[in-house]
Amino acid sequence: MSDTPEAAIVEAGPVYRFLQSQNLSVESLGTDASGVEMLKVDRDRLLAVGQALYADGFNYLRCQAAYDSGPGQDLVSTYHLVKLRDNADRPPEVRLKVFVPRDDARVPSVYWIWKTADWQERESYDMFGIIYEGHPNLKRLLMPEDWVGWPLRKDYITPDFYELQEAY
């Protein structure tokens, strides 16, 4: 008997197989509870993978978001893509995940592929401090420009003071 559990076998989905046929290396993370295929993408390959998926018909970025895996762990930038087609009851979907170390949280911007990434990448930057390289206007969206820190990181320390501002 081994002390470590055996790794579960993850079956490769259609998007994984398509990207492999294009010589684009990604890692399959299985499917989520809704059956959406999830892929781990290296940040250096994100633009190439994004361009290949766009050319294959994934023309809609439903959501770009980020989350913190925990104090001292990676930050994750996610991209939920949909292939919108005429008369599709359930269009094909895929979720890309880019894991980055919190001390070097840089990801290339996909704004130039999907324009809907504009404010979504700005929100991820504002809340988690992930820098989206190549974004045309990467600045704080929800917090004041002079705010220090990234409020949704799990290691964020809330300031002891709050400046009250007039609402009008």
**How many angstroms separate the CA atoms of 143 and 9, rounded?**
43
**How many angstroms separate the CA atoms of 146 and 15, rounded?**
42
Six token digits for residue 119: 């404010």
What pTM, to 2 d.p., does this model score?
A: 0.87
Instruction: Summarize pLDDT for 22-73 with one digit per residue, the tens.
Output: 999 999 999 999 999 999 999 999 999 999 999 999 999 999 999 999 988 9
62-76 b/e with 16+ CB inside 10 Å = b?
eebbbbbeeeeebbb
**How many angstroms separate the CA atoms of 91 and 17, rounded?**
18
Phi, psi of 45, rounded to the nearest 5 degrees: -110, 0
Straight-line distance from the first to the last Cα atom of the chain, in angstroms, rounded to the nearest whole number:
67
Rg of the chain over CA atoms, in angstroms? 18
What integer pLDDT is reported at residue 28 of this predicted model?
95
**How many angstroms separate the CA atoms of 67 and 22, rounded?**
29
Instruction: Summarize pLDDT for 69-80 with one digit per residue, the tens.
Output: 998 899 999 999
Instruction: Summarize pLDDT for 140-168 with one digit per residue, the tens.
Output: 999 998 888 999 999 888 776 556 555 54
Can you list the domains of the chain with their CATH numbers? 14-133 (3.30.460.80)
